[in-house]
A and B are shown apart, each in its own frame.
Chain A
Amino acid sequence: MRFILRRLGFYLIAFWASITLNFLLPRFMPGDPVSRMFARTQGKMQPEQLEALRKLLGVDDRPIWEQYADYMHNIVTGNMGVSISRFPTPVTEVISSQIGWTLLLGGTALVVAAVAGNLLGIMAAWRRGGAIDSALPPLLVFIGSFPYFWLAMGALYLFGVILGWSPLRHAFSDGLEPGFTWEFISDAGAHLVLPALTIVLVSVGGWMLGMRNTMIATNSEDYITMAEAKGLRPGRIMLRYAARNAMLPSVTSFGMSLGFVVGGALLTEVVFAYPGVGYQLLNAVQGLDYPLMQGLFLTITAAVLLANFLVDILYVRLDPRVRSN
C-alpha cells in the first residue's frame, strides 16, 4: 500500500509538471491563433476584423500568470473552453466525438500487435533457428522499416482500389446511423480492418523481437534446465516457466503504448480519413488552437500516466521483487 501511495504522489507531481508544460509550450510558439487563421485564409479575411475575432475567440493579452491561474482553475473544474480552430464547438465536444474511434483503432491495433508479436516471439525463441525464428524477424523488420505513410497508401490502393476488398475511407459507411445494430457494427468492423492491419504490420516486429530476445535470455536460466530435467512437458516449460518471466518488459511497453493510443495514429487517420483525434491534434498545433491543444494534451497526459500507474500496480502482482522494496 505504501508503495502505491508513493507512486501516486509521484504521478501527481508528474501530472502537474506536464500540464504546466502544456500551458507554456504553445505560448512560446511564434504568432497567435487569430493572425495564424488570417494567414491561412490568405486574403479572404479583412484585417480590420482581426480585433473583433480576437475578442470573440477569447484570445487574450492578459499577463501570463493570470492566464495560468485561469487554466489551472479550468482543469480542476473540467472546463476546457471552446476550440478556436473549430469555433464555437467546446473542446470537450470535439474530443469526445472522435476519441472513441481513435481508441477503437489504436486499441485494436495495439492489442493484436502485442498479442501476436509476443506469441510469435515466444515461439521463435523456443525453437531457435526454426522456421519462425529465421524467416519472420527479418521479414517483419523489413516491412516495419517502410515509411508508414507509403505502406498504408500502398495497402489502401491494393486492397481498396484494385481488389475492392476494403472500404477506402471513414470509420463507417456514409449515411449509416451509428447504433448497436449488427449492420452498423459489421460495417464499422469492415472499415477498421485495413487501417488496424497496417499499424499491426509495422509494429508487430518490435514486439516479436523484444519478446524473443528476453525469452532467449530466460531460456538459458538454470530453472529451465531444472524443469527440463524434471521431465515437464515442453509447452508447460515454455509458457509457465520461460514466457512468464520474460514477459515483464513487454508488460511495461504495453502499458506505455496504451497511454499513447489516445494521441491517435495521426498518419493512419490521414491516409484512411479516419475520424480520430490524431489529425485534430496536428491541426490544433498548426492553428495554435490553445484550448484544443491543451484539452488533447491533457487527455494524453492523463492516459499515459494512468496507464503507467496501472502497470506499476500490475508489477506489484507480477514481480515479487517490487513488493519487497
Chain B
Amino acid sequence: MTHPRFLRAARVTAAGLAVGALLLTGCAATVNKPAGTDAAANASAFLTIPREDMSTFDRNFNPFAPTVTPMVQQAIYEPLLISNPLKGDAVPWLATKWDVAKDGKSVTFTLRDGVKWSDGKPLVAEDVVLTFQLQKKIKGGFEYLKEVAAEGSNKVTFSFNTPWSPALYEVGQLPILPKHVWSAVKDPGKDANAKPVGTGPYTEVESFQAQSFVLKKNPNYWQPEKQKIAGIKMLAMSGNDAANLAAANGDVDWATQYIPNIEKTFVSKDKEHRHYWFPPTGAMINWQLNTTKAPFNDPQVRKALSMAVDRDQVTKIGMSGYAQPADCTGLSGHYENWKNPAVKDNCSWTKLNVDEANKLLDEAGYAKGADGKRTLKDGKPFEFKISVGASSSDWLSVANVISQNLQAVGVTARVDSPDWASVVAGYEQGTFDSGIVWSANDPSPYKYFNNSMGTASVKPVGTKTFDNYHRFGDPKADALLKEFAASGDETKQKDIAYKLQEEYNEVAPLVPLFSGPEWGAYNDTRFTGWPTEENAYATLSDRSATTVLVLTTLEPRK
C-alpha cells in the first residue's frame, strides 16, 4: 500500500460524498407535493391507502392466501351480498335476492343479470359452485354445507346438513371466483394469481413493486357509473409510525391504522379536509377468566370482579377515549340492533360499583383479611395474573387499569406481558389465569354466544382450543343456540338472541370490557363521499366486506 493509494481512496470518498450531497439537494424536487384541489388532477389521481402491517407486497392475488394481498377481497373479487354492521342490513351485491327455505336447510341466491368478469366473460352460477368447492378443499370450514348446486345460469342453491341460519351471511359474504380461470389452475391453493380476473370495480394490476402497487378500473364493471376514481394505490409501510407520518403529511387519502392523539397529529393540520370516525363496531374486547380454575368458576365472583372494573377509566386510559364501554348484553356496537333493551337498561354487573363488588365477594366466601386483602377458600391469597401480549401497548394499559381497580376490592392481579405467542399458547392450552381477549365479529351474534357460552366449544384443559379460551359452557345456552341456528325467521332469531342475552346476564361467562372501535380517518382534499356518522353506509375500514361500498361511492373532488 502506497501513499498515493490512500490519497486516491480519500479523493474517491470525497467525490462520493459530494455526489450524495448533490442528490440530497436534487431530491427536493421529487418530494410528494401536497394534494391539490385541481379538478383535472383529482380526476386522474389514485386513491392512496397505506398498509401499516405489510412492509412489502408480493405479487400474489390469491384470495386463499392466509395473509392476502390488500384489496383482493375488496376491489377485485366481490361477494353475493354485503352485510353492513352499522345498519344491520344486507346489501344485495352479486346476488339480487335470496330465499331461505322454510325448514332452514337451504338457501337459494339469484345472481344479478349482466355481471361480467374483468375479461368480459359473464358471471354464471357455476362460478359460485366452483368457488365453494375450492374454498372447502383448500381452506376448510363450512362443515354444515352439504351441497352447492347451480340451477340454470343464474340461480345457486346451498343445502345444509342441519338447519343452519348463520349460513346466509357466511356463504353470502365469500368473494366469488371465475370458474373459467380457476378450473385451469393446477394448484389453486398455491397459485400466485398474478393477473386476477374479478368482478370488482378495480381489478387491473399496474406498476407492481414490493413497496407499492396500483389497481386500475375493471373495464367490464357491472356498475360503471360508480367507478369514479381512476384507481387505487396501495403503499407498503412497516409500522404505524411510517403510515401516520404519511397521513399527517397529507400523502394518503385514507388511513385505517391507529393514530394516537388524532385531533392534534392529523386533523389539526387541515381541519376542513381531515376527518376521522371510530364507530364501535369492532369486536368486543373481553377480560376472560379461566373458569376451570377456582374462584373463577363462580359466576358471583366473575360479576364482582367485573363490577370492580372502572370501564370509563379503561377506555379513557387504554383506548384514548375512542372505545365504548360494554354493557350486560356482552355484545359490541356491531350488534346494536340485536341488543335486548331489558338487559341493556337494567344492567348491573358491567357498571362500576365497588361496594356491591365487595359485598358479592364477601357473600361468596372470600373474606377480607386484616390487611385488607382477600384470601381464597384454601387460605391462599386471592391473587392471579392478567396475560397480555407485550406488543399491544393499548391493551397493556387496559390490564394495568384493571389491576389497579381490583386493589379496591382486596384482590391482587399482576399484569403478565410476555410475547403474544406465549400468551396465546396459554390461552389455547387453558393454563392461563385471565387475559385480555378479542371476540368473534360476525353479521349475526350466533358465534359470539356460541364461543362465550356454548358447551360445544368447551375443550378440557390441555387440549388445544381456538375459541372459548375461558372454557365455559352452559346447557341452557346450548338449547337456545340450537334454536337460533334452526330458525330462518329474523324476528324469531331476535327473540332467541334476547333470551341468550338474558342467560348471559345471568351467568356472566366472561367480563366484557369495551367495543373495539373501527379506526378510520380520511383526507377529502382529492376525493369526496366518505362514510360518516350521519351517512353511515359503511365503516371507514379498508379491509372489510363493506369496503367496496366506499370504493364505489367516492368521487374525485370537482
Contact = CB atoms under 8 A, between A and B. Distances in A.
B347 interface: no
Interface in A202-241: 235-236, 239-240
A86 B466 contact: no
A94 B58 contact: yes
A30 B426 CA distance: 9
B10 interface: yes
A283 B13 contact: no
A44 B26 CA distance: 46
Interface stretch (B239-247, B320-328, B518-526): B239-247
Interface in B431-470: 438-441, 464-467
Contacts of B369: none
A46 B6 contact: no
Contacts of A82: 190
A129 interface: no
A87 B65 CA distance: 6
B56 A275 contact: yes
Contact of A280 (B56, B66, B251): B56
Nearest to B441: A43
Nearest to A266: B238
A167 B23 CA distance: 11
Contact of A275 (B19, B26, B55, B241): B55
A175 B216 CA distance: 13
B9 A115 contact: yes
Contact of B211 (A44, A47, A273): A273
B420 A169 contact: no
Given A87-B65, A164-B31, A166-B24, A48 B10 contact: no
Interface in B223-237: 233, 235-237
B127 to A, nearest CB: 22
B422 A30 contact: yes
Interface stretch (A8-16, A130-138, A182-190, A253-261): A182-190
Interface in A260-296: 269-273, 275, 279-280, 283, 286, 288
A53 B66 contact: yes
A193 B236 contact: no
B212 A31 contact: no
B3 A271 contact: no
Interface string A137-165: 00000000000000001001100110011
Interface string B8-46: 011001001101100111111011100000000000000
B60 A88 contact: yes
Contacts of A173: 30
Contacts of A187: 27, 30
Contact of A169 (B20, B66, B235, B248): B235
A89 B57 CA distance: 10
Interface range, A side: 35 or more
B140 interface: yes
Interface stretch (A32-40, A61-69, A70-78, A303-311): A32-40
A37 B139 contact: no
A182 B225 CA distance: 41
B81 interface: no
Contacts of B464: 35
A189 B26 CA distance: 10
Interface string A120-136: 00000000000000000
B192 interface: yes
Given A43-B439, A174-B212, A53 B140 contact: yes
Nearest to B25: A165
Contact of B421 (A47, A97, A175, A288): A288
Nearest to A29: B421
Given A35-B466, A167-B30, A30 B425 contact: yes
A165 B28 contact: yes
A25 interface: no
B27 A112 contact: no
Contacts of A89: 58, 60, 192
Contact of A35 (B56, B209, B428): B428
A49 B28 CA distance: 50
A271 to B, nearest CB: 7
A319 interface: no
Contact of B27 (A36, A171, A193, A239): A193
B32 A168 contact: yes
B181 interface: no
B141 A38 contact: no
A322 interface: no
Given A48-B141, A87-B65, A165 B246 contact: no
A206 to B, nearest CB: 18
Nearest to A122: B6
A38 B24 contact: no
A42 interface: yes
Interface in B243-261: 245-246, 248-249, 251
A49 B212 CA distance: 30
B364 interface: no
Contacts of A94: 58
A39 B26 contact: no
A27 interface: no
Contact of A161 (B16, B138, B209, B245): B245
A323 interface: no
A167 B65 CA distance: 33
B381 interface: no
A57 interface: yes
A222 to B, nearest CB: 21
Contacts of A36: 420-421, 424
B67 interface: yes
B420 A39 contact: yes
B141 A52 contact: yes
B467 A47 contact: yes
B138 A48 contact: no
Interface string B49-82: 0000001101010101111000000000000000
Given A167-B27, A173-B30, A271-B242, A51 B140 contact: yes
B212 to A, nearest CB: 4
Nearest to B23: A189
A94 B210 CA distance: 10
B140 A270 contact: no
B143 interface: yes
Nearest to A177: B207
A212 to B, nearest CB: 17
Contact of B66 (A57, A153, A171, A288): A57
A88 B17 contact: no
Interface in B401-443: 419-422, 424-425, 427-428, 438-441
Nearest to A115: B13
B539 to A, nearest CB: 14
Nearest to A42: B438
Contacts of A270: 55, 238-239, 241-242
A190 B67 contact: no
Nearest to A269: B238
A4 interface: no
A268 to B, nearest CB: 10
B462 to A, nearest CB: 15
11 contacts: A35-B425, A52-B140, A56-B64, A57-B66, A84-B66, A87-B66, A170-B211, A240-B2, A270-B239, A273-B235, A286-B419
